[in-house]
């Protein structure tokens, strides 16, 4: 949206935002993601990686294309397909926005996220999977509720009205069962609790990170449940785009993770 502001009104970015607020009104600007980012704002993007040699370079490039000020924290979780070598090559380039950490062995997405959360220094922290399912261009839209101080945690929902790929029925049903059971268990209505795009104020997730137990995909539910224990934490959902990849293309989550998710709902 911000890239097209100069086509609508003149001036620098802040002036264009002010002009659009006057023309469209605050409510419309809220709906379409027109707002100002603080000059010193930094987004910490945590990218957990396991055997993603084919996509990791493109994912990093796509995050950079957002033109947000980011620190990219890549955590390789014991890859064995050449991902480590790709990341080592990137590290040698010495880009200031990129920090890379390596696990000696594969421990799971949760373990990689915990490492990344503890290393973050930005104002807001977001998870970015290393595949091509999620579009980083959605990040600016997702940041708005936190930047404008009416949320502390924002989830990008794949199932709340966004333009998205038509998913297999079993995939949609499994996600909805988990989300609805989680919502009932915790007394809050979510539409997509398993989404990758979770944004947190850094102090919230770093206070929580040392207490997280789940090493695999169960961390999605554990994080949310533990954050909900503080009733003052403000949650928000916004729609995102989503292009699901197949198992032939490298998708890793499976039916066992679905069963474990049900256990996590009870446990946390």
Residues 25 and 110 in one domain: no
pLDDT tens digits, 86-103: 999 999 999 999 999 999
Give 190's Cβ-side CA count (13 Å radius): 31
Please tell me whether residue 237 adopts helix, strand or coil conformation. Answer: strand
CATH number of the domain bearing residue 261: 3.90.550.10
Same domain, 127 and 203: yes
* Cβ pair 142, 154 in contact under 8 A: yes
26 and 106 within one domain: no
Average pLDDT, the chain: 86
pLDDT band at 247 (very low <50, low <70, confident <90, very high): very low
Q: Which of 21-25, 105-109, 153-157 is predicted with the least confidence, judged by mean pLDDT?
A: 21-25
Distances (CA, A) of 184 to 81, 179, 190: 40, 9, 10
What average pLDDT does the segment 27-41 reach? 83
CB 134 within 8 A of CB 197: yes
Alpha carbon distances (Å) from 268 to 108, 167, 182, 206, 231? 19, 29, 10, 19, 15
Candidate ranges 4-13, 166-175, 200-209; pick with highest mean pLDDT: 200-209
| Residues 93 and 177 both lie in one domain | yes
- What's the confidence (pLDDT) of residue 28? 78
Q: Is the pLDDT of residue 27 over 90?
A: no
Token pair belonging to 214: 């789940």
User: pTM for this structure?
Assistant: 0.83
Residues 166 and 258 in one domain: yes
- Note whether 61 and 18 are same-domain residues: no
Q: Are 81 and 122 in a shared domain?
A: yes
Residues 17 and 129 in one domain: no
Q: Is the domain of 193 the same as that of 108?
A: yes
Say whether both 194 and 80 belong to one domain. Answer: yes
Average pLDDT over residues 8-27: 71
Residues 93 and 25 occupy one common structural domain: no
Q: What percent of the chain has pLDDT above 90?
A: 60
Query: 17-21, 107-111, 143-147, 148-152 — which is least confidently predicted?
Result: 17-21
| Structural domain containing residue 26 | 1-36
What's phi and psi for 77, nearest 5 deg? -100, 60
pLDDT score of 171 more than 70: no
Q: What is the pLDDT of residues 120-159, one digit of tens each?
A: 999 999 999 998 899 999 999 999 999 999 999 999 998 8
Left if phi > 0, otherwise alpha if psi is -120 to 50, otherwise beta: which for 39?
A: alpha
Neighbours of 105 (CB within 10 A): 8
Higher-confidence position of 43 and 172: 43
Number of domains forming the structure of the chain: 2
Average pLDDT over residues 250-257: 59
pLDDT above 50 for 48: yes
**Contact predicate 192/175, CB 8 Å:** yes
Please say if the pLDDT value at position 10 is more than 90. Answer: no
Among 223, 243, 63, 46, CA closest to 139: 63
Mean pLDDT of all residues in 48-77: 97
Which of 48-57, 205-214, 235-244 is least confident? Answer: 235-244
Annotate 92-141 with DSSP letters as a single string.
Answer: HTT-TTEEEEEESS---HHHHHHHHHHH--SSEEEE--SSSSS-GGGHHH
Contact 83, 115 (CB under 8 A): no
Q: What is the pLDDT of residue 251?
A: 53
pLDDT at 57 over 90: yes
Q: Is the pLDDT of residue 13 over 80?
A: no
In this structure, the answer to whether residues 138 and 98 fall within a common structural domain is: yes
Span 20-49, average pLDDT: 86
């Amino acid at each position: 949206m911000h890239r097209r502001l100069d086509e609508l009104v003149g001036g620098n970015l802040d002036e264009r935002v002010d002009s659009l607020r006057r023309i469209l009104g605050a409510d419309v600007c809220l709906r379409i993601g027109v707002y100002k980012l603080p000059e010193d704002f930094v987004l910490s993007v945590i990218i957990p990686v396991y055997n993603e040699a084919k996509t990791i370079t493109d994912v990093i490039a796509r995050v950079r294309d957002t033109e947000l000020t980011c620190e990219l924290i890549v955590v390789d979780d014991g890859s064995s397909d050449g991902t480590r070598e790709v990341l080592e090559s990137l590290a040698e380039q010495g880009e200031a926005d990129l920090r890379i950490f390596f696990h000696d062995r594969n421990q799971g997405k949760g373990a990689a996220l915990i490492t990344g959360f503890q290393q973050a220094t930005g104002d807001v922290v977001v998870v970015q999977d290393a595949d091509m399912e999620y579009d980083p261009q959605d990040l600016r839209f997702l940041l708005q509720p936190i930047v404008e101080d009416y949320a502390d945690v924002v989830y990008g929902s794949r199932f709340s009205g966004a333009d998205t790929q038509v998913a297999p029925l079993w995939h949609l049903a499994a996600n909805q069962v988990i989300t609805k059971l989680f919502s009932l268990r915790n007394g809050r209505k979510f539409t997509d609790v398993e989404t990758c795009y979770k944004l947190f104020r850094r102090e919230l997730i770093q206070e929580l990170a040392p207490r997280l137990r789940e090493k695999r995909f169960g961390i999605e539910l554990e994080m949310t449940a533990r954050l909900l224990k503080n009733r003052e934490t403000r949650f928000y959902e916004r729609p995102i785009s989503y292009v699901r990849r197949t198992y032939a293309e490298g998708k890793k989550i499976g039916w066992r993770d679905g069963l474990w998710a049900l256990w996590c709902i009870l446990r946390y």
